[in-house]
């Protein structure tokens, strides 16, 4: 029962608010037909296109009729732009992967160099250069 009363109050307040807003907008719009009307006509001319252009714009082309040069050019521009974006994306991905692989290889080379250096220090026999590398087999 309480929710019905709340719904009724909400609807009534919405109706009152809409009435107040409608009165406010009608009061804010002047009744003068002078320079304001001419300025509004100028704005309408800037915003809206001619009726013939509008009807041509909204007219649907048949499936078998040839495309206009403007349509073909617009489609080609869209395709070229999509190709360019795809190429840039794949180039960026390839560069990131190449950088990743290069870092991995550098780390592996560093680990190998350190392991070899440790092996040489461990097996060093006090002679320089070490005896292991200067053996002369008979």
Residues 100-138: tens digit of each pLDDT: 999 999 999 999 999 999 988 887 766 666 555 656 655
The total number of structural domains that make up the chain:
1
Specify if 73 maps to a domain. Answer: yes
- Report yes or no on 80 lying in a domain: yes
Residue 21 lies in a domain: no
Which residues form the domain of 73? 69-137
Burial zone of 33 (CB within 10 Å; 0-12 exposed, 13-18 middle, 19+ buried): exposed
Please check whether residue 95 lies inside any domain of the structure: yes
Q: What is the pLDDT of residues 84-100, one digit of tens each?
A: 999 999 999 999 999 99
Q: Does the residue 127 lie in any domain?
A: yes
Q: Give me the residue label for tokens 């001619």.
A: 50
Domain membership flag for residue 9: no
**CA-to-CA distance for 69 and 74, rounded, in angstroms?**
9
pTM, full prediction: 0.40
State the chain's mean pLDDT as an integer: 79
């Amino acid at each position: 029962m309480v929710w019905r009363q709340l719904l009724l109050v909400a609807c009534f307040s919405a109706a009152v608010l809409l009435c107040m807003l409608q009165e406010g907008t009608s009061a804010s719009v002047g009744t003068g037909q002078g320079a304001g009307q001419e300025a509004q006509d100028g704005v309408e001319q800037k915003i809206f296109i001619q009726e013939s252009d509008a009807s041509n714009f909204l007219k649907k082309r048949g499936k078998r009729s040839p495309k206009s040069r403007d349509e073909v050019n617009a489609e080609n521009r869209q395709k070229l732009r999509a190709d360019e974006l795809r190429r840039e994306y794949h180039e960026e991905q390839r560069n990131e992967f190449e950088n990743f692989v290069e870092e991995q290889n550098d780390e592996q080379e560093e680990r190998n160099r350190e392991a070899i250096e440790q092996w040489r220090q461990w097996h060093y026999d006090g002679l320089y250069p070490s005896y292991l590398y200067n053996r002369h087999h008979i």
